[in-house]
Amino acid sequence: MTARVIDGKAYAAKLRGLIGEGVESFKSETGHVPGLAVVLVGEDPASRVYVANKAKQTVEVGMASFEYKLPADTAQDTLVALVDELNARDDVDGILVQLPLPGHLDELAVIDRIHPDKDVDGLHVVSAGRLVAGLPGHVSCTPLGCMMLIKDTLGADIGGKEAVVIGRSILVGKPVAQLLLAANCTVTMAHSRTKDLANVVRRADIVVAAVGRAEMVKADWIKPGACVIDVGINRVPSAVEGKTRLVGDVAYAECAEVADSITPVPGGVGPMTIACLLHNTLQAARMRRGMEMDKRF
Protein backbone atom coordinates (compact mmCIF):
# COMPACT_ATOMS: atom_id res chain seq x y z
CA MET A 1 0.00 0.00 0.00
CA THR A 2 1.26 3.48 -0.76
CA ALA A 3 0.85 6.30 1.74
CA ARG A 4 -1.43 9.29 1.30
CA VAL A 5 0.66 12.23 0.09
CA ILE A 6 0.22 15.26 2.35
CA ASP A 7 -0.06 18.17 -0.08
CA GLY A 8 1.50 21.12 1.77
CA LYS A 9 1.51 23.21 -1.38
CA ALA A 10 -2.28 22.99 -1.72
CA TYR A 11 -2.85 23.49 2.02
CA ALA A 12 -0.59 26.57 2.03
CA ALA A 13 -2.44 28.04 -0.96
CA LYS A 14 -5.78 27.55 0.85
CA LEU A 15 -4.34 29.12 4.00
CA ARG A 16 -3.04 32.14 2.06
CA GLY A 17 -6.55 32.58 0.60
CA LEU A 18 -8.04 32.69 4.12
CA ILE A 19 -5.30 35.07 5.29
CA GLY A 20 -6.09 37.34 2.33
CA GLU A 21 -9.73 37.48 3.52
CA GLY A 22 -8.53 38.12 7.08
CA VAL A 23 -6.34 40.99 5.85
CA GLU A 24 -9.30 42.54 4.00
CA SER A 25 -11.52 42.49 7.10
CA PHE A 26 -8.64 43.84 9.22
CA LYS A 27 -8.16 46.74 6.79
CA SER A 28 -11.83 47.64 6.70
CA GLU A 29 -12.14 47.44 10.50
CA THR A 30 -9.00 49.42 11.36
CA GLY A 31 -7.94 51.37 8.27
CA HIS A 32 -4.44 49.92 8.75
CA VAL A 33 -2.46 47.66 6.42
CA PRO A 34 -0.61 44.82 8.23
CA GLY A 35 3.13 45.20 7.59
CA LEU A 36 5.98 42.69 7.63
CA ALA A 37 9.64 43.75 7.68
CA VAL A 38 12.24 41.21 6.54
CA VAL A 39 15.94 41.80 7.13
CA LEU A 40 18.57 39.95 5.09
CA VAL A 41 22.27 40.32 5.86
CA GLY A 42 24.75 39.12 3.23
CA GLU A 43 24.49 37.28 -0.06
CA ASP A 44 23.55 33.67 0.84
CA PRO A 45 21.76 32.51 -2.35
CA ALA A 46 19.19 30.27 -0.58
CA SER A 47 18.32 33.07 1.85
CA ARG A 48 17.89 35.54 -1.03
CA VAL A 49 15.37 33.18 -2.66
CA TYR A 50 13.44 32.72 0.64
CA VAL A 51 13.34 36.47 1.26
CA ALA A 52 12.16 37.24 -2.30
CA ASN A 53 9.37 34.62 -1.92
CA LYS A 54 8.34 36.05 1.44
CA ALA A 55 8.08 39.56 -0.02
CA LYS A 56 6.06 38.36 -3.02
CA GLN A 57 3.57 36.35 -0.94
CA THR A 58 3.24 39.16 1.64
CA VAL A 59 2.08 41.54 -1.08
CA GLU A 60 -0.19 38.88 -2.64
CA VAL A 61 -2.25 38.57 0.58
CA GLY A 62 -2.65 42.36 0.73
CA MET A 63 -0.03 43.19 3.37
CA ALA A 64 2.80 45.73 3.14
CA SER A 65 6.30 44.29 2.73
CA PHE A 66 9.40 46.16 3.90
CA GLU A 67 12.68 44.62 2.80
CA TYR A 68 16.11 45.49 4.19
CA LYS A 69 19.18 44.07 2.47
CA LEU A 70 22.38 44.78 4.36
CA PRO A 71 25.95 43.95 3.33
CA ALA A 72 27.66 40.85 4.74
CA ASP A 73 30.07 42.97 6.82
CA THR A 74 27.27 44.84 8.65
CA ALA A 75 28.22 45.55 12.28
CA GLN A 76 26.16 44.20 15.19
CA ASP A 77 25.34 47.77 16.33
CA THR A 78 24.00 48.71 12.89
CA LEU A 79 21.75 45.65 12.76
CA VAL A 80 20.51 46.20 16.31
CA ALA A 81 19.80 49.87 15.48
CA LEU A 82 17.67 48.75 12.50
CA VAL A 83 15.72 46.32 14.73
CA ASP A 84 15.13 49.16 17.23
CA GLU A 85 13.85 51.39 14.42
CA LEU A 86 11.47 48.65 13.19
CA ASN A 87 10.29 48.00 16.77
CA ALA A 88 9.30 51.67 17.03
CA ARG A 89 7.47 51.92 13.69
CA ASP A 90 3.67 51.74 13.84
CA ASP A 91 3.32 50.45 10.27
CA VAL A 92 5.51 47.38 11.03
CA ASP A 93 3.55 44.59 12.75
CA GLY A 94 6.06 41.79 12.26
CA ILE A 95 9.86 41.61 12.03
CA LEU A 96 11.86 38.69 10.65
CA VAL A 97 15.65 38.61 10.56
CA GLN A 98 16.62 35.90 8.10
CA LEU A 99 18.92 33.24 9.55
CA PRO A 100 21.69 32.21 9.40
CA LEU A 101 23.46 35.53 9.95
CA PRO A 102 27.13 35.94 8.95
CA GLY A 103 29.46 34.42 11.56
CA HIS A 104 30.62 37.68 13.20
CA LEU A 105 27.05 38.55 14.27
CA ASP A 106 25.40 37.37 17.49
CA GLU A 107 22.14 35.79 16.25
CA LEU A 108 20.49 35.31 19.63
CA ALA A 109 21.21 38.89 20.68
CA VAL A 110 19.63 40.19 17.46
CA ILE A 111 16.53 37.97 17.75
CA ASP A 112 16.08 38.96 21.40
CA ARG A 113 16.16 42.63 20.45
CA ILE A 114 12.93 42.20 18.43
CA HIS A 115 9.90 43.31 20.43
CA PRO A 116 8.07 40.08 21.43
CA ASP A 117 4.77 41.47 20.06
CA LYS A 118 6.43 41.73 16.62
CA ASP A 119 8.29 38.39 16.82
CA VAL A 120 6.30 36.73 14.03
CA ASP A 121 9.12 34.22 13.61
CA GLY A 122 8.42 32.96 17.15
CA LEU A 123 12.12 32.73 17.98
CA HIS A 124 12.35 35.26 20.84
CA VAL A 125 12.90 33.78 24.31
CA VAL A 126 9.57 35.29 25.36
CA SER A 127 7.78 33.43 22.53
CA ALA A 128 9.63 30.20 23.40
CA GLY A 129 8.77 30.66 27.10
CA ARG A 130 5.11 31.37 26.39
CA LEU A 131 4.92 28.19 24.30
CA VAL A 132 6.38 26.09 27.13
CA ALA A 133 4.10 27.78 29.68
CA GLY A 134 1.02 27.13 27.53
CA LEU A 135 0.30 30.85 27.09
CA PRO A 136 -0.81 32.39 23.78
CA GLY A 137 2.04 33.86 21.73
CA HIS A 138 3.79 33.68 18.38
CA VAL A 139 4.66 30.11 17.37
CA SER A 140 7.56 29.64 14.96
CA CYS A 141 6.39 29.16 11.42
CA THR A 142 7.69 25.73 10.36
CA PRO A 143 6.48 23.97 13.56
CA LEU A 144 3.08 25.66 13.21
CA GLY A 145 2.93 24.46 9.60
CA CYS A 146 3.80 20.90 10.68
CA MET A 147 0.98 20.90 13.23
CA MET A 148 -1.56 22.20 10.71
CA LEU A 149 -0.64 19.39 8.30
CA ILE A 150 -0.70 16.71 11.03
CA LYS A 151 -4.15 17.79 12.26
CA ASP A 152 -5.50 18.12 8.73
CA THR A 153 -4.32 14.56 8.00
CA LEU A 154 -5.11 12.75 11.27
CA GLY A 155 -7.94 14.91 12.62
CA ALA A 156 -7.83 17.57 15.34
CA ASP A 157 -7.59 15.09 18.23
CA ILE A 158 -4.14 13.52 18.23
CA GLY A 159 -4.13 13.02 22.01
CA GLY A 160 -2.40 9.85 23.22
CA LYS A 161 -0.40 9.28 20.04
CA GLU A 162 3.32 8.52 20.23
CA ALA A 163 5.28 11.28 18.50
CA VAL A 164 9.02 11.15 17.83
CA VAL A 165 10.80 14.36 16.81
CA ILE A 166 14.25 13.86 15.30
CA GLY A 167 16.35 17.01 15.77
CA ARG A 168 16.45 19.53 18.61
CA SER A 169 16.96 22.90 16.90
CA ILE A 170 15.45 26.11 18.26
CA LEU A 171 13.88 26.72 14.83
CA VAL A 172 12.01 23.39 14.53
CA GLY A 173 12.75 20.43 16.85
CA LYS A 174 12.16 22.06 20.23
CA PRO A 175 9.03 24.06 19.33
CA VAL A 176 7.39 21.23 17.37
CA ALA A 177 7.93 18.90 20.37
CA GLN A 178 6.21 21.47 22.62
CA LEU A 179 3.27 21.77 20.23
CA LEU A 180 2.85 17.98 20.07
CA LEU A 181 2.99 17.85 23.86
CA ALA A 182 0.37 20.60 24.10
CA ALA A 183 -1.78 18.45 21.79
CA ASN A 184 -1.46 15.61 24.38
CA CYS A 185 0.91 13.38 22.41
CA THR A 186 3.54 11.31 24.20
CA VAL A 187 6.63 13.01 22.83
CA THR A 188 10.18 11.72 22.43
CA MET A 189 12.91 14.09 21.26
CA ALA A 190 15.64 12.19 19.44
CA HIS A 191 18.92 13.72 18.27
CA SER A 192 22.46 12.96 17.15
CA ARG A 193 23.37 11.33 20.51
CA THR A 194 20.23 9.15 20.72
CA LYS A 195 21.09 5.46 21.02
CA ASP A 196 19.42 3.04 18.58
CA LEU A 197 17.53 5.78 16.77
CA ALA A 198 15.81 3.32 14.42
CA ASN A 199 14.16 1.57 17.35
CA VAL A 200 13.07 4.85 18.93
CA VAL A 201 11.49 6.06 15.68
CA ARG A 202 9.76 2.68 15.20
CA ARG A 203 7.39 3.36 18.09
CA ALA A 204 6.08 6.59 16.58
CA ASP A 205 2.55 7.16 15.30
CA ILE A 206 3.84 10.57 14.21
CA VAL A 207 7.43 11.13 13.04
CA VAL A 208 8.79 14.65 12.54
CA ALA A 209 12.22 14.55 10.89
CA ALA A 210 14.20 17.80 11.22
CA VAL A 211 17.87 16.87 11.27
CA GLY A 212 19.24 18.10 7.95
CA ARG A 213 20.66 14.70 6.88
CA ALA A 214 19.60 13.62 3.39
CA GLU A 215 17.29 10.56 3.35
CA MET A 216 18.44 9.38 6.78
CA VAL A 217 15.09 7.92 7.89
CA LYS A 218 14.59 4.51 6.28
CA ALA A 219 11.49 2.40 5.67
CA ASP A 220 12.33 -0.13 8.41
CA TRP A 221 12.36 2.73 10.98
CA ILE A 222 8.69 3.50 10.26
CA LYS A 223 5.82 1.82 12.10
CA PRO A 224 3.23 0.65 9.55
CA GLY A 225 0.47 3.27 9.40
CA ALA A 226 2.53 6.16 10.83
CA CYS A 227 2.23 9.80 9.73
CA VAL A 228 5.62 11.05 8.51
CA ILE A 229 6.43 14.78 8.42
CA ASP A 230 9.69 15.61 6.65
CA VAL A 231 11.11 19.06 7.44
CA GLY A 232 14.48 18.44 5.76
CA ILE A 233 15.57 20.33 2.64
CA ASN A 234 18.86 18.88 1.43
CA ARG A 235 20.49 19.52 -1.92
CA VAL A 236 22.16 16.40 -3.35
CA PRO A 237 23.76 15.58 -6.72
CA SER A 238 21.17 14.40 -9.27
CA ALA A 239 21.47 11.64 -11.86
CA VAL A 240 22.16 14.36 -14.44
CA GLU A 241 25.84 15.37 -14.42
CA GLY A 242 26.39 18.78 -12.76
CA LYS A 243 22.77 19.12 -11.58
CA THR A 244 21.35 18.90 -8.06
CA ARG A 245 17.97 17.94 -6.62
CA LEU A 246 16.18 18.49 -3.31
CA VAL A 247 15.53 15.62 -0.92
CA GLY A 248 14.22 15.52 2.63
CA ASP A 249 15.53 13.80 5.76
CA VAL A 250 13.29 10.82 4.93
CA ALA A 251 13.93 8.23 2.19
CA TYR A 252 10.60 9.12 0.60
CA ALA A 253 9.86 6.33 -1.88
CA GLU A 254 10.58 3.43 0.50
CA CYS A 255 8.91 5.08 3.55
CA ALA A 256 5.79 5.81 1.47
CA GLU A 257 5.35 2.03 1.17
CA VAL A 258 5.02 1.69 4.96
CA ALA A 259 3.50 4.96 6.23
CA ASP A 260 -0.18 5.96 6.30
CA SER A 261 0.64 9.49 5.19
CA ILE A 262 3.81 11.39 4.28
CA THR A 263 4.94 14.86 3.20
CA PRO A 264 6.92 15.08 -0.04
CA VAL A 265 10.02 17.26 -0.55
CA PRO A 266 9.52 19.68 -2.18
CA GLY A 267 5.81 20.51 -1.78
CA GLY A 268 5.23 19.30 1.79
CA VAL A 269 6.25 21.32 4.84
CA GLY A 270 8.26 23.91 2.84
CA PRO A 271 5.35 25.96 1.45
CA MET A 272 3.71 26.04 4.90
CA THR A 273 6.50 28.12 6.45
CA ILE A 274 5.79 31.37 4.59
CA ALA A 275 2.01 30.86 4.84
CA CYS A 276 2.40 30.56 8.63
CA LEU A 277 4.60 33.66 8.70
CA LEU A 278 1.77 35.59 7.03
CA HIS A 279 -0.68 34.03 9.50
CA ASN A 280 1.48 35.22 12.41
CA THR A 281 1.81 38.70 10.92
CA LEU A 282 -1.97 39.09 10.62
CA GLN A 283 -2.40 37.87 14.20
CA ALA A 284 0.34 40.28 15.37
CA ALA A 285 -1.39 43.19 13.62
CA ARG A 286 -4.68 42.28 15.33
CA MET A 287 -3.12 41.81 18.77
CA ARG A 288 -1.17 45.08 18.55
CA ARG A 289 -4.47 46.88 17.98
CA GLY A 290 -6.23 45.18 20.85
CA MET A 291 -8.29 42.83 18.63
CA GLU A 292 -8.92 39.12 19.22
CA MET A 293 -6.95 36.53 17.27
CA ASP A 294 -8.61 35.63 13.96
CA LYS A 295 -10.17 32.23 14.79
CA ARG A 296 -10.57 31.02 11.21
CA PHE A 297 -7.22 29.27 11.16
Shortest spacing between CB 155 and ligand GUN, in angstroms: 27
> In 213-235, which positions are buried (b, 16+ CB within 10 angstroms) versus exposed (e)?
ebbbbeeebbbeebbbbbbbbbe
Shortest spacing between CB 275 and ligand GUN, in angstroms: 12
Alpha helices in the chain (DSSP H): 8-30, 45-60, 76-88, 107-113, 125-133, 141-154, 173-182, 197-201, 252-255, 270-288
From residue 68, give the alpha-carbon distance in Å to each of 24, 32, 96, 211. Answer: 26, 22, 10, 30
Name the residue nearer to ligand GUN (CB basis): 40 or 187: 40
- Residue number of the CB closest to ligand GUN reads 99
**Which residues inside 168-207 make contact with ligand GUN, applying CB under 6 A?**
171
Pick the binder of ligand GUN from 98, 127, 280, 281 (CB under 6 A).
Answer: 98
Is 220 part of the annotated catalytic residue set?
A: no
- The active-site residue out of 57, 93, 98, 283 is 98
Shortest spacing between CB 187 and ligand GUN, in angstroms: 21
Alpha helices in 202-269 (DSSP H): 252-255
- Sign, CA dihedral 256-271-96-131, equals negative
Shortest spacing between CB 282 and ligand GUN, in angstroms: 17
Q: Is residue 281 a contact residue for ligand GUN (CB under 6 A)?
A: no
Is 205 part of the annotated catalytic residue set?
A: no
Name the residue nearer to ligand GUN (CB basis): 176 or 204: 176
Helices and strands per DSSP (H, E), number in the chain: 10, 11
Q: Is residue 99 a contact residue for ligand GUN (CB under 6 A)?
A: yes
The bridge status of strand 234-237 relative to strand 244-247 is: antiparallel
Nearest one of 166, 173, 131, 122 to 276, comparing CA atoms: 122
Name the residue nearer to ligand GUN (CB basis): 166 or 171: 171
**Which residues inside 127-146 make contact with ligand GUN, applying CB under 6 A?**
141-142
Shortest spacing between CB 280 and ligand GUN, in angstroms: 11
- The active-site residue out of 7, 119, 121, 249 is 121
Pick the binder of ligand GUN from 96, 114, 131, 201 (CB under 6 A).
Answer: 96
Nearest one of 63, 129, 125 to 279, comparing CA atoms: 63
Is 54 part of the annotated catalytic residue set?
A: yes
Shortest spacing between CB 214 and ligand GUN, in angstroms: 17
- Sign, CA dihedral 224-198-238-262, equals positive
Q: Is residue 121 a contact residue for ligand GUN (CB under 6 A)?
A: yes
* Torsions phi, psi for 149 (to 5 deg): -70, -40
Count of residues in contact with ligand GUN, rule CB under 6 A: 9
**Which residues inside 2-61 make contact with ligand GUN, applying CB under 6 A?**
none
Q: Is residue 70 a contact residue for ligand GUN (CB under 6 A)?
A: no
Segment contacting ligand GUN by CB under 6 A, of 14-22, 74-82, 97-105, 212-220: 97-105
State whether residue 37 is helix, strand or coil.
Answer: strand
Name the residue nearer to ligand GUN (CB basis): 117 or 121: 121
Query: Contact at 8 Å (CB) between 278 and 61?
Result: yes
How far apart (Å, rounded) are the C-alpha atoms in residues 105 and 113? Answer: 13
Residues of the shown chain interacting with ligand GUN in the complex, contacts defined by CB under 6 A: 96-99, 121, 141-142, 171, 273
Return the active site residues: 54, 98, 121
